[in-house]
Amino acid sequence: MVSGRIPRPSYGRVYEEGRSVANKYLVMYYREDPLPVRLGIVASKRLGKACVRNRVKRRITECFRHVLPLIEPRGEFVFIARQRAALCSYQELLGAATDLLKRMDLLE
């Protein structure tokens, strides 16, 4: 994949220095820097069992991969899945992700 992952100690830095937007499925943090794009996904235990959490993480990864050619590839992105994300379809999740990126003015 073009994007790397965010190491665990960097999450606090993204929460402190980045900006956030949210809707009913996802919360997105974005921290701008000149380095290549990196992605972090948070799927807490509240979502469900291991199988459900893995499915949500895969779907978010796929969403991000889908929109990646349309945005400027730098900075750190953190997506936090809310409880409703475990029940929705991939299409709803993709709509939620593009909505958040538009509101962050990263996507037309």
Partner RNA sequence: UAAGCAGGCUAGGUAGUCGCGGGCGGCCUUGGGCCGCCUGAGGAAAGUCCGGGCUCCACAGGGCAGGGCGCUGGGUAACGCCCAGCAAGGGUGACCUUAGGGAAAGUGCCACAGAAACAUACCGCCUCUGCCAUGCGGUCCCCGCUUUGCCGGAGGCAUGCCCAGCCUCUUGGUAAUCCGAGCGGGAAAUCGCGGGCAGCGGUAAGGGUGAAAUGGUAGUGUAAGAGACUACCGGCAGUCGGGUGACCGGCUGGCCAGGCAAACCCCGCCCGGAGCAAGGCCGAAUAGAGGGGUGAUGACGUGGCCCGCCGAGCCCCUGGGUAUGGCCGCUUGAGGGAAAGGGUAACCUUUCUCCCAGAUAGAUGACUACCCUCGACAGAACCCGGCUUAUAGGCCUACUUACCGU
Partner RNA sequence: CGGGCCGUGGCGCAGUUUGGGAGCGCGCUUGAAUGGGGUUCAAGAGGUCGCAGGUUCAAAUCCUGUCGGCCCGA
Tally Cβ neighbours within 10 Å of residue 29.
22
25 versus 105: smaller Cβ distance to RNA: 25
Q: Work out how close the CB of 45 gets to RNA at its nearest, in angstroms, rounded to a whole number.
A: 8
**What's the sign of the alpha-carbon dihedral 66, 92, 26, 43?**
negative
Binding site for RNA (CB under 7 A): 1, 5, 7-9, 49-52, 54-55, 57-59, 61-62, 65-66, 89-91
Question: What one-character-per-residue DSSP string does 1-46 give?
Answer: --SEEPPGGGHHHHHHHSEEEE-SSEEEEEEEEEEEPEEEEE--GG
Q: Work out how close the CB of 62 gets to RNA at its nearest, in angstroms, rounded to a whole number.
A: 4
Q: Work out how close the CB of 90 gets to RNA at its nearest, in angstroms, rounded to a whole number.
A: 4
34 versus 89: smaller Cβ distance to RNA: 89
